[in-house]
């Protein structure tokens, strides 16, 4: 369950009281892990996989009640703003319009401490560029940097100096926001760890075009002399999408990154392990080969496969960071070379039950084919809920599902799916909260290749009952997990 999906009085889940209650719920349920989506700021399409920073935390997750307790806000000041009136869905437009004025009010009362100065110094390698980027972006009415004036778009030194002076107060604000996010996140993570809960985070493979990294460090990406992408990322057409998936992220200049010993990636992965105990790397197959689509295409039907860095990247990571606790998101079109890379790294891959039920064939997603070194899911944030998915199965597939799970009707299918994974040899099993609540398609988090209506899902207060916790604990104990 993502942070955004937690209950809250302020339009979106946060790092406050309800997050701590969720940790308590997990502990009572006998659980060991809490998996979240990327906690970076959301931008285009409200997606956590399209962020304007590879390192920053989401300002929306800063808990306003904690800021009140710190003396930075008064309760009545928060109540002057409207964050949406639907407890089951995030209203991102309202958040964008109203959350920043509240945070600026808190910033106006903030007094810098030694702890703050230490945070700024330790994170200067990304924080300075990010805060400057956001200040200029706000100055330009939040337009993408490719539409800024030429001098600052190209990061000419005199323009950097000019904007740094002119927007110094705004730059300080964005640094304050990151300080508050990281402080609140660190306290929540410490609480989770103290209660036996480890946090699994998610690291997108790509960063957005409209990001501090692409604007300030164009040499790391495949850009032309005008700092526009030569090619962009995506996935080719397949059974799920006739025109493929056009993500639009700039591709990495892997040759240049290799020449620097992959120092940017090492910093990024090190930072991820400051946030999380275990890290899922999105689109792992892109490190072996990635799909490159010419910039300006309307879909992903035209593109070519290019070789990625392969094991050399992870060898460099291991040399600097040692053995890191990574989950490889190895879904999608996989070749033997991808399987070989995963085996060389030794990272567990993912097994998604919804991908298993081809009535006419065998595949690695069927639980009887699992290897122990994997993480098993009923579905991910890109899947329908298990109840929603089951409702759409028909004919031979429905018959196969029923026979495999040993069920006859919809009400039995979701609990049986959970039991099937719990009984498997997978070292780790992660169940989306929607499936423990047996919710339908209305609770789906994301539909790939669509914009709008995604990333909205929230649970209401008092949804996570003691009865539900006991039920989860029983099945967990039954299968010795």
pTM of the model: 0.96
Confidence (pLDDT) at 448: 86
Q: What amino acid positions are annotated as catalytic residues?
A: 282, 329, 382
| Helix (H) or strand (E) run with residue 352 in it | strand 349-352
Q: Are strands 304-307 and 374-377 parallel, antiparallel or unpaired?
A: unpaired
Distances in whole angstroms, Cα of residue 347 to Cα of each of 10, 128, 314, 372, 430 = 38, 33, 11, 12, 16
| 3-state SS class at 233 | strand
pLDDT tens by residue, the chain, 481 residues:
999 999 999 999 999 999 999 999 999 999 999 999 999 999 888 999 999 999 999 999 999 999 999 999 999 999 989 999 899 999 999 999 999 999 999 999 999 999 999 999 999 999 999 999 999 999 999 999 999 999 999 999 999 999 999 999 999 999 999 999 999 999 999 999 999 999 999 999 999 999 999 999 999 999 999 999 999 999 998 766 788 889 999 999 999 999 999 999 999 999 999 999 999 999 999 999 999 999 999 999 999 999 999 999 999 999 999 999 999 999 988 899 999 999 999 999 999 999 999 999 999 999 999 999 999 999 999 999 999 999 999 999 999 999 999 999 988 999 999 999 999 999 999 999 999 999 999 999 999 888 889 999 999 999 999 999 999 999 999 999 9
For 282-384, where are the alpha helices, taking DSSP H only? 311-321, 336-345
Beta bridge mates, 278: 200
The answer to whether the Cα torsion of 101, 102, 104, 108 is positive or negative is: positive
Confidence (pLDDT) at 240: 66
Distance CA 23, CA 5 (A): 14
Distance CA 300, CA 229 (A): 15
Residue 239 near residue 447 (C-beta atoms within 8 A): no
Would you tell me how many other CB atoms lie within 10 Å of the CB of residue 114? 7
Distance CA 265, CA 263 (A): 5
């Amino acid at each position: 369950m993502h942070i955004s999906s937690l209950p809250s009085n302020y339009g979106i889940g946060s790092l406050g009281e309800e997050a701590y209650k969720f940790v308590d719920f997990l502990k009572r349920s006998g659980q060991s892990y809490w998996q979240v989506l990327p906690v970076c700021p959301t931008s285009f399409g409200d997606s956590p996989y399209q962020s304007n920073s590879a390192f920053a935390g989401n300002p929306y997750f800063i808990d306003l009640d904690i800021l009140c307790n710190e003396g930075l806000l008064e309760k009545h000041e928060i109540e002057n703003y409207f964050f949406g009136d639907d407890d089951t869905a995030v209203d991102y437009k309202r958040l964008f319009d109203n959350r920043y004025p509240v945070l600026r009010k808190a910033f106006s009362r903030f007094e810098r401490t030694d702890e703050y100065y230490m945070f700024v110094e330790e994170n200067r390698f990304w924080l300075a560029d990010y805060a400057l980027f956001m200040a200029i972006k706000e100055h330009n009415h939040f337009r993408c940097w490719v539409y800024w004036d030429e001098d600052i778009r190209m990061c000419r030194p005199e323009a950097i100096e000019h904007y740094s002076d002119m927007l110094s107060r705004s730059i300080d604000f964005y640094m304050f926001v990151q300080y508050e996010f990281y402080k609140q996140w660190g306290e929540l993570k410490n609480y989770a760890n103290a209660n036996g809960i480890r946090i699994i985070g998610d690291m997108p493979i790509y960063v957005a075009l409209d990001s501090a990294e692409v604007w300030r460090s164009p040499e790391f990406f495949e850009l032309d002399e005008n700092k526009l992408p030569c090619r962009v990322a995506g996935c080719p057409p397949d059974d799920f999408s006739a025109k493929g998936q056009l993500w639009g992220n700039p591709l990495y200049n892997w040759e240049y990154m290799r020449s620097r010993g992959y120092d940017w990636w090492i910093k990024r992965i090190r930072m991820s392990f400051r946030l999380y105990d275990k890290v899922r790397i999105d689109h792992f197959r892109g490190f072996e080969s990635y799909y490159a689509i010419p910039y300006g295409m309307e879909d992903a039907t035209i593109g070519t496969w290019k070789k990625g860095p392969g094991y050399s990247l992870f060898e460099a990571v291991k040399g600097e960071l040692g053995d890191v606790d990574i989950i490889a998101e190895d879904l999608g079109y996989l070749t033997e070379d991808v399987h070989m890379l995963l085996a060389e790294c030794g990272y567990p891959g993912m097994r998604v039950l919804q991908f298993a039920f081809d009535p006419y064939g065998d595949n690695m997603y069927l639980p009887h084919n699992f290897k122990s070194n994997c993480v098993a899911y009923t579905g991910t944030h890109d899947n329908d809920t298990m109840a929603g998915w089951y409702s759409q199965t028909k004919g031979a597939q429905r018959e196969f599902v029923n026979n495999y799970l040993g069920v006859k009707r919809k009400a039995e299918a979701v609990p049986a799916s959970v039991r099937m994974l719990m009984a498997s040899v997978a070292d780790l099993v992660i169940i989306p909260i929607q499936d423990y609540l047996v919710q339908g398609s209305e609770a789906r988090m994301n539909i790939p290749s669509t914009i709008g209506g995604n990333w909205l899902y929230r649970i209401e207060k008092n949804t996570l009952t003691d009865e539900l916790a006991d039920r989860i604990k029983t099945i967990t104990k039954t299968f010795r997990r």
